Amino acid sequence: MTTVVPTSEEDPVLPVVRFTADLSWADAGPEVAEPLVTRLCMEAQECMVMGRWLDLASLMLTSAELVFPKVSDKDLECIFTVICNLASKLENPDDELEMAKLISTKISQQPNDKPAMRLKILFNLYNLLEGPDSRFFVYMQALNLALNGKVIDHIVPSFKKIDSFLKEWNIGVKDQRNLFLTIANVLKENKSSGKDSFKFLTKYLATFSGEDSCVIGEAKEEAVRAVIEFVKAPDTFWCDLLDMPAVGQLEKDAKYALVYQLLKIFLTQRLDAYLEFQAANSTLMKSYGLVHEDCITKMRLMSLVDLGSNESGQIPYALIKDALRINDDEVELWIVKAITAKLIDCKMDQMNQVVIVSRCTERIFGQHQWHSLRLKLATWRGNVDSLISTIQANKVVEEGSQAMQGMAIR
């Protein structure tokens, strides 16, 4: 009995099946190839009639993967667009997820074979899917493909949309951890994205707040990594790692307690504390790839920030010289460095040898900083209320004066 497949001349599925099958078996010779190609086409027809779209996708993917190295990128894009479009025929979200897993997993299996093309196919598949679970799965596959295939530049621009993606996907905490850590790893491979890598690593660590010690323990190695990345970063002078339980666990850890101590020095103490630590733990510093001269530079800037956070708003040159362990003629140079790094806003009073600070970056933002901010806001509010009262009083006086002038004219 002959089966009539309800397709139009424009339906590309069967032509793609025949094209990929022909190419896959071309080396076997016509006597072997033709029966196999015919059988594959008949199986494809049967899948279409029965609505077995997952089976059809599996059949097409097998041949498509075989021809991947043999055809042009343009032909590959057309072939996989047809395959990916099969997902649009599925109405059940669970079926769509299975289709997404099937296609994206197959595409990601050979990350070193035309990785940019494979990544483009995954992006096309993502845009054809409707279910948030399906989209999230494909995006994670794309992340890993970009990392393993060393084409991270193609996926980095999408990181700017992560917040909107998270709202769309509505994923759980475990999936968020996987996402943030994978992005951090992708960005780590891009030397120009170290700051962004640290940002996503801290997002990962923040997801462990409120968890028990067993769960938090999973993040121990990443917590150490975050501390070392912060210390190494020449342009990062603030972080909230000390407030995170995932990092706090290091304080009493036999192996990593010194790493926690180093973080505390960089966030709450000055250069003299760092020099004392380094003298006692130089081997540890080298084992983490920390360069002593770079650490001194960063600690001098952070020590200057600490000096600027005092209530008086003035820092004597002599105090800067002693705290930073520099010569007299280097004081203003380090002040300029701190201004350039946007750590402080200030004026240098060379006559009186003091720095007058108008704004200073906080290294940490805890209870003390919140209290200080509350006092400043209260002061500003009082000043604004006083200004409004003065303006209103002057307005009343002015209106009264104008009224008297009017009476005099009459």
- DSSP-assigned beta bridge partners for residue 354: 316, 349
- With left for phi above 0 and alpha for psi between -120 and 50, is residue 353 left, alpha or beta? left
Task: Kindly tell me the sign of the dihedral angle through the C-alpha atoms of 357, 361, 363, 367.
Answer: positive
Mean pLDDT over 291-315 rounds to: 91
Query: Looking at residue 184, what is its pLDDT?
Result: 95
Residue type, 11: D
Q: Tell me the three-class secondary structure of 154-199, residue by residue.
A: HCHHHHHHHHHHHHHHCCCHHHHHHHHHHHHHHHHCCHHHHHHHHH
Give the residue, 37 or 340, on which the prediction is more confident: 340
pTM of the model: 0.81
- With left for phi above 0 and alpha for psi between -120 and 50, is residue 29 left, alpha or beta? left
pLDDT in tens, 140-153: 999 999 999 999 99
Band of residue 8 on the pLDDT scale cut at 50, 70, 90: very low
Residues with Cβ within 8 Å of residue 41, at least 6 apart in sequence: 14, 17, 18, 21
Query: Looking at residue 24, what is its pLDDT?
Result: 79
Strands of the 344-349 sheet, one edge to the other: 314-316, 354-360, 344-349
Residues of the chain with pLDDT > 70: what percent?
A: 87
Cβ-contact 268, 302 below 8 angstroms: no
Angstrom distances, CA of residue 22 to CA of 31, 36, 64, 68: 12, 9, 11, 13
pLDDT in tens, 210-263: 889 899 999 999 999 999 999 999 999 989 999 999 999 999 999 999 999 999
Cβ-contact 208, 216 below 8 angstroms: yes
Q: Is residue 42 classed as helix, strand or coil in its secondary structure?
A: helix
Query: Looking at residue 187, what is its pLDDT?
Result: 92
Residues 366-399 as b/e (b if ≥16 CB within 10 A, e otherwise) read eeeeeeeeeeeeeeeeeeeeeeeeeeeeeeeeee
Query: Looking at residue 55, what is its pLDDT?
Result: 94
* CATH assignment of 290-379, among 3.40.190.10, 1.10.630.10, 1.10.10.10, 3.40.50.2300: 1.10.10.10
Residues with Cβ within 8 Å of residue 342, at least 6 apart in sequence: 361
Angstrom distances, CA of residue 251 to CA of 93, 205, 245, 283: 46, 16, 10, 19
Band of residue 395 on the pLDDT scale cut at 50, 70, 90: confident
- Whether 115 shows a pLDDT value over 70: the answer reads yes
Angstrom distances, CA of residue 126 to CA of 130, 145, 146, 261, 339: 8, 14, 15, 45, 45
- Whether 163 shows a pLDDT value over 70: the answer reads yes
Q: If you write DSSP's letter for every residue of 214-229 in order, what string do you get?
A: HHHGGGHHHHHHHHHH
pLDDT in tens, 167-178: 999 999 999 999
Place of tokens 């990443």: 222
pLDDT in tens, 356-391: 999 888 876 444 444 454 555 666 676 776 777 778
Torsion of CA 108, 113, 115, 121, to 10 degrees: -60
Half-sphere exposure of 95 (CA within 13 A, CB side): 13
Mean pLDDT over 323-336 rounds to: 95
Cβ-contact 346, 357 below 8 angstroms: yes
- Whether 203 shows a pLDDT value over 80: the answer reads yes
